[in-house]
């Protein structure tokens, strides 16, 4: 379902010199013991980024997911890239969330980093829907210009490829631009906020139950602590 997006994302990363790095043993792939789901992940090292992870979950008509987070180097205060696409085939429900995830919400920060996303957001009205959230706080690590759709797939499936491409190229532009100008948020504070993002996301992510039901508690716990949100479980030393 989301394979063209996965190809586009991974190609963009490779075009920017990204190369795949090892994922802790046993976590790169797992098939459900029920035999009806497969989860595959990639971890990329890309210049200017500390970590870039990508995950695809395929469970046929039941569920298809593409999820990705890019963490910039601590020396760069620009937002994280956040992608969460879900398709529930049986009901035809689509959930699409594409955001530049801000470290802070102050006007100066949003002004500096969000001109591009603001413009993409204004061109895709399908993705400006009601951001009613059940698990997350929309004002914490989400931006006011997040592309968000939750509803019948027919209402957004045609424009999703265009929105996705524009969103991605806008993020690459933001990254290139911000590498040329100094950060306003200190390196130490960026580190603290990125760690807090992992802690917050690990606590709130609505996917835990879903992973457990497919892959069991032992594998899921390892996947969360060692791959999805490693900073949230590490004993973090905030000195450099
Ligand atoms: C919602 N994400 C969801 C839901 C699931 C996942 C099952 C609930 C679906 C619904 O609202 O009907 C699934 N999340 C996953 C999976 C992974 C994951 C499979 O992390 C990991 C592989 N979520 C992100 C990122 C963003 C994000 C990076 O992981 C940012 C763009 C956003 N997901 C996001 C939001 C919601 C969501 C905003 C709605 C949550 C809410 O209602 O509070």
Q: Report the 3 state secondary structure along the chain.
A: CCHHHHHHHHHHHHHCCCEECCCCCCCCEEECCCCCCEEEEEEEECCCEEEEEEEEEEECCCEEEEEEEEEECCCCCCCEEEEEEEEECCCCEEEEEEEEECCCCCHHHHHHHCHHHHHHHHHCHHHECCCCCCCCCCCCCCCCCCEEEEEEHHHCCCCHHHHHHHHHHHHHHHHHHHHCCCCCCCHHHHHHHHHHHHHHHHHHCCCHHHHHHHHHHHHHHHHHHHHHCHHHCCCCCCCC
Q: How far apart are CA 208 and CA 186, in angstroms?
A: 33
Instruction: Determine the Cα angle at 205 with ends 237 and 78, to 5°.
Output: 55
132 CA → ligand 1 middle, Å: 13
Torsional class of 5: left (φ above 0), alpha (ψ -120 to 50), beta (otherwise): alpha
Contact 168, 175 (CB under 8 A): no
pLDDT at 222: 95
Quick: pLDDT tens for 99-146: 999 999 999 999 999 999 999 999 999 998 777 788 899 999 999 999
Q: What are the CA-CA distances from residue 182 to residues 78, 97, 141, 194 (Å)?
A: 10, 29, 21, 18
Of all protein residues, whose CA lies closest to atom 15 belonging to ligand 1?
A: 207
Contact 186, 238 (CB under 8 A): no
Residue 153: CB within 6 Å of ligand 1?
A: no
pLDDT at 239: 45
Length of the chain as a residue count = 240
Tell me the average pLDDT of the chain: 93
Domain 3-237, architecture per CATH: 3-Layer(aba) Sandwich (3.40)
pLDDT at 240: 41
pLDDT at 35: 67
For residue 44, list its beta bridge partners. 20, 52
Of all protein residues, whose CA lies closest to atom 10 belonging to ligand 1?
A: 95
Quick: pLDDT tens for 173-200: 999 999 888 899 999 999 999 999 999 9
151 CA → ligand 1 middle, Å: 14
> Which of 42, 58, 206, 208 to mutate to test ligand 1, by most ligand atoms within 8 A of the CB atom?
206
48 CA → ligand 1 middle, Å: 25
206 CA → ligand 1 middle, Å: 6
More confident: 239 or 58: 58
Domain spans in the chain, listed from the N-terminal domain onward: 3-237
């Amino acid at each position: 379902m989301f394979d063209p997006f996965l190809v586009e994302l991974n190609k963009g990363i490779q075009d920017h010199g990204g190369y795949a790095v090892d994922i802790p043993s046993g976590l790169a792939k797992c098939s459900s013991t029920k035999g009806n789901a497969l989860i595959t992940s990639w971890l990329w090292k890309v210049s200017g980024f500390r970590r870039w992870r990508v995950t695809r979950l395929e469970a046929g008509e039941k569920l298809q997911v593409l999820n990705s987070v890019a963490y910039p180097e601590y020396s760069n205060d620009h937002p994280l890239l956040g992608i969460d696409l879900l398709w529930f085939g049986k009901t035809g429900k689509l959930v699409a969330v594409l955001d530049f995830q801000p470290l802070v919400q102050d006007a100066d920060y949003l002004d500096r980093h969000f001109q591009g996303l603001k413009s993409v957001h204004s061109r895709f009205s399908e993705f400006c829907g009601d951001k009613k959230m059940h698990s997350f706080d929309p004002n914490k690590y989400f931006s006011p210009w997040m592309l968000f759709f939750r509803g019948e797939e027919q209402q957004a499936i045609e424009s999703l490829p265009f929105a996705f491409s524009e969103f991605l190229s806008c993020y690459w532009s933001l990254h290139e631009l911000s590498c040329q100008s100094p950060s306003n948020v200190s390196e130490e504070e960026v580190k603290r906020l990125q760690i807090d993002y992992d802690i917050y996301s690990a606590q709130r992510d609505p996917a835990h139950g879903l992973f457990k039901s497919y892959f069991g508690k032992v594998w899921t716990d390892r996947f969360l602590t060692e791959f999805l949100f490693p900073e949230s479980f590490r004993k973090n030393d905030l000195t450099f």
